[in-house]
Every structure is written in C-alpha cells, then in structure tokens.
Amino acid sequence: MTARRVTIEVGVVVGRREIGGCFAGSFRTPAGEILTGPFVLSSGPPSPPAPPPRDPFAPPGGGLPAGIEPPGVWLQTRSHRRFLPPSECRFSPLDRAVFSLDAVVIGVNFHWERRERQTFQGGLTVRRDNDGLLTAINEIDMEDYLASVISSEMAATAPVEFLKAHAVMSRSWLLAMLERKDRESGGGSAHSPGGVARGGGDGRRNGMDGDGHRNGMDGGAPAAGEGEAGRETDEGGLDSPEEIVKWYGREDHADFDVCADDHCQRYQGVTKIVSPQVREAVDATRGMVLVYGGRICDARYHKACGGRTEDFANVWEGRSVPYLTSVADGPGDFPSLTTEAAAADWIASSPEAYCNIADTAFLRRILPAFDQETPDFFRWEVSHEREEMEALLKEKSGIDFGELLHLKPLRRGPSGRIVRLEISGTRRRVIVGKELEIRRWLSPSHLYSSAFVVDAEKDAGGGIRRFVLRGAGWGHGVGLCQIGAAAMAIRGFSMEAILGHYFPGAALRKI
Ligand SMILES: [Zn+2]
Ligand SMILES: [Zn+2]
C-alpha cells in the first residue's frame, strides 16, 4: 500500500427505481454530451410509455420488443427524456461542479433514520441491476471522502486532536477494507489514481456489518438483504434451547467500495460544511494509519461505550484482535462487567468515564445535529408492557414465544454488553446473540446497545406486567468511543494518546 492518491466509489443511493437530483454546473457523459440542471433517472420507461428512443444513445435496433426492459436507465432532464445504455450512465464534473441527490436515506433502520437531499463532489455513476433497481455511486478522492466522513460523523467544531485521531482511524479502516477487498478479489490493484478498475464485481462475501457496525462502527443498520450473517451454534443436549447466535460481519459491497451510511462510514457528501479544522486534521495526518503486526488496523469505532469498550470477539466472529480488546474508558480502571451483579451496579452508577457527558454545550460542539437528539446515550432506559414485548419479538424475530416468562442474560462481555440472551416463553425458548441481533429483536428499531439489565415488573397476581431495560452506551462498543475520544481531546490529550488509549498496541505509521 502506498500513499498514492486513491479514488473510491461510494454507494450513496441503493435499490431505487427512480433517483432524482440536480447537476449544479456541467457534467459530461462518456459520449461527450453536457448535462446541467434537474434530472430524474429511472429504471422503467416513464409513463405514459415513451416512444422508442430515437437518439444517438438509443440501443441498437431502435426500440425493444414489448415486455423486455432495457438494461440501461431512462434519463429525464428539463428539456427531454431518453434512454441511456449502461456505458453512458456515468457523469463527470467539469470545473469542480457538484451534484445533489434527493431523499438520500441515512441511519437506515436506526432510531435516527431520515431522508435528506445531499450534495456531492466528484463523479456520478448509476447502475441498474437485473431487478430494475438503481444504485447511484459517487466517485471521489479518498482524502476528500475522509474530510466529509469526519464532518458527517461528528461536528466540525470538535477539538482538532480528536478530528486528527478520527482521520487516522477512518483512513485505516478504509485502507484495511480496500486491501482486503483487493486480496479477496484475486489480488491486483483495483484502486488506482484517477479511476477504479471494476470487473464483474468481487462476488459476494459475507457479512454485512451492521450497526454501523460499520466498519463496524456502530451506528448503521444491516444493509437489507446483503450478505450472510456469521453464525455460531453451541452444541447442546437434547433439552437445550434453540440457539440463534449470529453476528453481522462486514459485508464488503460488491458494486462499490463503501456505502454512505453507518454500515460503512457515515458520508454525506459536501452537504455538511467541511470546516477548516477538519481539512487541517485530514491534511495534517495525510497518509497516516494505525498498524499492528505489520498490517493496517481494521479500526472500528462507535458513539459511546458506556464506560468500558468491548472485545471484538463478543461482537463479530470469535477471534481475538489484540488492538480491539476492552479498555476502561476513563482516567482510572473500571471493573470488567461480565457478571450480572457487576453489570447491574455499573449501569446504576455514573462512573467518571470519558463518555459520561451530560453537558449539552459540549455535545453540541462535538455531535452532528441529529445525534444530539440522543442525549441519554451514557445511561438509558426503555420499557415495554409484556404483551407489547411479545408482539415486538414476534415481529422482529419471526418467533412466537407465547407468554413471555423471562429475558435472561447468559453471557456478557467486559463492557457489560450481552453476548447471549435467553428468551423464554410458554411456547419457545431461544438463545439469541450476538449484540446486534439482540438489539434488533428487542426494539422497534435497534436498542442503543446490548449492555442492559432486565427488570421484569410483576402485577398483583405475580405475573409479569412489564419489562424495563436499563442500559449503558450507544453502539457495539468496540474500538474507539467517539464521544469519549472527543472528551479526551478537550482534556488535552493528543491524537497519539487518544489512539493509543482505544487501540492498545497499535502504532502510527505514515504510508
Ligand atoms: Zn456499507
Ligand atoms: Zn466511552
């Protein structure tokens, strides 16, 4: 891996029949046509059905037999509408023109999900799959991408040592992922200056990563229908309950390098102003990555650990990653929270952790606006009436448990995150894991984290009336705690100290 300039492909809108937007400035197609202004790209002929295309971009033969959809895309601009074959669905900016796309979904399936119009620099490519679904891909220089990621993940007004740490971490995650992708696609350098060689795709790997398990950072949702989850089955006796223990390994996207949501790294184009501080952080750390054992670190991160970070193996596949092991997120040491008693005491307490921040002025300085809507990330509580919880579990897991009897944590990691949870009802008894699956099952969107204790409140007759979950932290808890790291920077810690704290044993290297 060298420090050459790298162009990456970001999938910004995925799986739509129609994508609307606007070219602000001039964009050129491979055939040399110049486009500007609003556009709509759609997979089917617009209705009423358009006459067979009769322009130079028309497919050979001038029209298609009834019932057969062309593999390209229909383009509607202010002045006309026509068909573009796949090779023409690529738009390159002239003079740093930008484009915007409407209704880009962010925070997919999480409590902060919303749609935004977003603006991007770089090129736009639209691809259509066999089901007629369109994907809009933004081609952008990696360092510009990183500046946007940091501005999208955190507020640009966050302290600069934190922004620098984030730049190194995001670059490391990206390069480690691209290296792996190159390796798995048979070697060769897919990423080269000025263009990205893309053949027929790299095939489907497994594992999406969810939650932002992005990079396993957390925050994002599993990409719908992508990838297979890893699975672990504990061998048990005949009477043992059914086990559904899966993790969402990172799905390396087949059609592009990274998506724009929390699944990979949050990227909102140039919609969020890239501040001079972010630009400085990216420039000051250009080419710098975290390495361990001679390899670039797969540096993961999440919003708030809750006081202690988690081991990699408790969230993804069960292998040890030395630089992704649990650390106490504070000036002193905190106990490991693997027992119920320790977890309950911990969650009920307010330890002096770096991410234990209730100061709204501070949070405004470090978090993007929509993350400020989640003020209770350090300690939180949700409750559901028993019947409500039964309906929720049925909807999210597809399993009818009957009347719920208990939710019992069987194994916790050092951060208190539950790795295996037993759910017992009058009809079924199931063990669910790992943390993302637990979070998904027990919430209409996702729980903030799987570090929670369960209080089953009884009614007068001794039956369960209500389940109260009291928890700690936001996200999977592995690697760097974004809020804790920003707090460390405010306290005067350097980028090196922050990265050293969250990624034990990793070293900084310029490539
Ligand atoms: Zn992704
Ligand atoms: Zn933390």
The predicted pLDDT at position 261 comes to 81
CB count within 10 Å of CB 349 equals 12
Return residues with CB closer than 5 A to ligand 1 (ion): 259, 263-264
> How close is the Cα of 116 to the center of ligand 2, in Å?
29
Ligand nearest to the CA of 326: 2
Say whether pLDDT at 12 is over 50: yes
Model confidence pLDDT, tens digit, residues 243-252 = 888 777 656 7
The predicted pLDDT at position 321 comes to 97
Mean pLDDT (the chain, rounded): 82
CB count within 10 Å of CB 338 equals 17
> How close is the Cα of 245 to the center of ligand 2, in Å?
26
> How close is the Cα of 224 to the center of ligand 1, in Å?
11
Ligand nearest to the CA of 251: 1
The predicted pLDDT at position 301 comes to 95
The predicted pLDDT at position 16 comes to 85
Ramachandran assignment for 181, one of left (phi > 0), alpha (psi -120 to 50 degrees), beta (any other): alpha
> How close is the Cα of 428 to the center of ligand 1, in Å?
34
Q: What is the DSSP string of 12-50?
A: EEEEESEEEEEEEEEEE-TT--EEEEEEEEESS--TTTP
The predicted pLDDT at position 249 comes to 62
Ligand nearest to the CA of 301: 2
Which is more confidently placed, 60 or 193?
Answer: 60
> How close is the Cα of 502 to the center of ligand 1, in Å?
23
Residue 258 DSSP label: E
Model confidence pLDDT, tens digit, residues 283-320 = 999 999 999 999 999 999 999 999 999 999 999 988 99
The predicted pLDDT at position 281 comes to 93
The dihedral built from the CA positions of residue 472, 477, 480 and 482, taken in this order, carries a sign that is negative
Model confidence pLDDT, tens digit, residues 26-58 = 999 998 999 999 998 888 765 544 444 454 454
> How close is the Cα of 260 to the center of ligand 1, in Å?
7
> How close is the Cα of 307 to the center of ligand 2, in Å?
5
> How close is the Cα of 198 to the center of ligand 2, in Å?
39
> How close is the Cα of 349 to the center of ligand 1, in Å?
35
Q: For helices 482-490 and 160-184, what crossing angle results, to 10°?
A: 140
Ligand nearest to the CA of 222: 1
Ligand nearest to the CA of 226: 1
Question: With pLDDT > 70 as the criterion, what percentage of the chain qualifies?
Answer: 79
401 in Cβ contact with 423 (< 8 Å): yes
Most confident of 90-104, 140-154, 376-390: 376-390
Ramachandran assignment for 492, one of left (phi > 0), alpha (psi -120 to 50 degrees), beta (any other): left
> How close is the Cα of 221 to the center of ligand 1, in Å?
9
> How close is the Cα of 258 to the center of ligand 1, in Å?
5
Ligand nearest to the CA of 181: 1
> How close is the Cα of 196 to the center of ligand 1, in Å?
18
> How close is the Cα of 412 to the center of ligand 2, in Å?
17
The mean pLDDT value for 88-94 works out to 93
Ligand nearest to the CA of 219: 1
Say whether pLDDT at 360 is over 70: yes
Which is more confidently placed, 222 or 490?
Answer: 490
The mean pLDDT value for 429-451 works out to 95
Ligand nearest to the CA of 221: 1
The predicted pLDDT at position 236 comes to 38
The mean pLDDT value for 91-108 works out to 83
Element (H, E) at 392: helix 386-397
How far apart, in whole angstroms, are the C-alpha atoms of residue 233 and residue 246? Answer: 9
Ligand nearest to the CA of 306: 2
> How close is the Cα of 496 to the center of ligand 2, in Å?
17
Residue among 168, 484, 469 nearest 305 (CA): 484
Question: With pLDDT > 90 as the criterion, what percentage of the chain qualifies?
Answer: 54
Ligand nearest to the CA of 11: 1
How far apart, in whole angstroms, are the C-alpha atoms of residue 332 and residue 86? Answer: 58
Ligand nearest to the CA of 250: 1
CB count within 10 Å of CB 207 equals 22
Ligand nearest to the CA of 208: 1
The predicted pLDDT at position 17 comes to 85
Ligand nearest to the CA of 501: 2
- Residues with Cβ within 8 Å of residue 395, at least 6 apart in sequence: none
Lowest-confidence segment of 136-145, 220-229, 329-338, 364-373 by average pLDDT: 220-229
Model confidence pLDDT, tens digit, residues 107-135 = 555 665 667 788 999 999 999 988 888 89
Say whether pLDDT at 464 is over 60: yes
70 pLDDT tier (thresholds 50, 70, 90): low
The predicted pLDDT at position 111 comes to 64
Return residues with CB closer than 5 A to ligand 2 (ion): 305, 329, 355, 481, 484
Q: How far is CA 505 from CA 297, 335, 354, in A?
A: 11, 21, 20
How far apart, in whole angstroms, are the C-alpha atoms of residue 224 and residue 232? Answer: 21
> How close is the Cα of 509 to the center of ligand 1, in Å?
26
The predicted pLDDT at position 364 comes to 87
> How close is the Cα of 137 to the center of ligand 1, in Å?
12
Ligand nearest to the CA of 472: 2
Model confidence pLDDT, tens digit, residues 164-218 = 999 999 999 999 989 888 887 765 443 433 322 222 222 222 222 333 344 433 4
The predicted pLDDT at position 441 comes to 96
Residue among 451, 448, 443, 440 nearest 409 (CA): 451
The mean pLDDT value for 469-481 works out to 97
Ligand nearest to the CA of 265: 1
Lowest-confidence segment of 246-260, 284-298, 347-361 by average pLDDT: 246-260
How far apart, in whole angstroms, are the C-alpha atoms of residue 265 and residue 165? Answer: 15
